[in-house]
């Protein structure tokens, strides 16, 4: 069986007036279905760049990325958009829509995917229950703590039922207790059958690794 994600000899070089900056240097690895895969390193090591390459938010300078048997770099723009619907991404800074309440934030990607409004709201509420924020459905992001905002971001990703979840420093700005609760959510004990999803985590704090 093919790995869920396979990276082969990936390189990423940024060009600037000061010279070339190598963010990723001949990186190869694979992630099996159901794996939780940690990408660790110091600040500036290229972790975020690598995670963003996995769904082509950042295009590598060379190398290849496979989701199953498909090379992302060989897909058309339409095919890539369809493939990205299987990949959820949780960002460090939440990326919530400030003019939408919590429920509508979680519904947003479902609306884009063309899901029926009633079914989208049912799914969004289910995911808010999963992250313990059902009572905040009508609240706005400005009324939430940092940990609550990150839970909304996780609910939004889980609502789309992705096969792959990418986390870009999803807990770096949170306190230790909130970090622990957020990392426990990424194990998806309530929302997903065991072994059906793959997760890639970008983490700069080595002390967090035993919690995963």
Which of 49-58, 130-139, 155-164, 174-183 shows the lowest per-residue confidence on average (mean pLDDT)? 174-183
Would you say 171 and 184 are in contact if contact means Cβ atoms under 8 Å apart? no
Residue 120 clears pLDDT 90, i.e. is over it: yes
Beta strands (DSSP E) in the chain are 5-16, 19-31, 36-40, 62-67, 70-71, 87-90, 164-168, 198-203
Q: With 50 as the cut, is the pLDDT of residue 46 above it?
A: yes
Exposed/middle/buried for 119, CB within 10 Å: 0-12, 13-18, 19+?
A: exposed
b/e per residue, 77-107, with b = 16+ CB within 10 A? eeeeeebbeebbbbbbebebeeeebbbbbbb
More reliable by pLDDT, 28 or 184: 28
Q: Which of the 8 DSSP states describes residue 34?
A: T
In angstroms, rounded to a whole number, what is the distance separating the alpha carbons of residues 41 and 47? 7
Q: What is the pLDDT of residue 193?
A: 46
CB 5 within 8 A of CB 164: yes
pLDDT digits (tens, 9 = 90+) for 12-25: 999 988 889 999 99
**Residue indicated by tokens 């996995």:** 54
Quick one: which of 43, 45, 12 has its CA closest to 27?
12
pTM: 0.80
Contacts of 210 (CB under 8 A, 6+ apart): none
Q: How many angstroms separate the Cα of 31 from the Cα of each of 7, 18, 93?
A: 9, 35, 25
Look at residue 197 in the predicted model and tell me its pLDDT: 61
């Amino acid at each position: 069986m093919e790995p869920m994600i396979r990276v082969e000899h990936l390189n990423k070089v940024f060009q600037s007036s000061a010279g070339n900056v190598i963010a990723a240097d001949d990186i190869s690895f694979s992630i099996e279905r159901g794996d939780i895969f940690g990408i660790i390193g110091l600040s500036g090591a290229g972790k975020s760049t690598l995670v963003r390459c996995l769904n082509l938010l950042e295009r590598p300078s060379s190398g290849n990325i496979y989701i199953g048997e498909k090379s992302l770099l060989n897909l058309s723009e339409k095919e890539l958009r369809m493939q990205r619907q299987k990949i959820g991404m949780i960002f460090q800074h939440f990326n919530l829509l400030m003019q939408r309440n919590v429920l509508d934030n979680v519904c947003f990607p479902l609306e884009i995917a063309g899901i029926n409004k009633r079914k989208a709201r049912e799914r969004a509420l289910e995911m808010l229950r999963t992250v313990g924020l059902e009572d905040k459905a009508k609240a706005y992001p400005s009324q939430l703590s940092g940990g609550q905002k990150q839970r909304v971001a996780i609910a939004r990703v889980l609502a789309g039922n992705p096969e792959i979840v990418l986390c870009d420093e999803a807990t770096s700005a949170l306190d230790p207790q909130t970090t622990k609760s957020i990392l426990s959510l990424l194990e998806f004990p309530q929302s997903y059958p065991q072994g059906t999803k793959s997760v890639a985590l970008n983490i700069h704090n080595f002390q967090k690794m035993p919690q995963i």
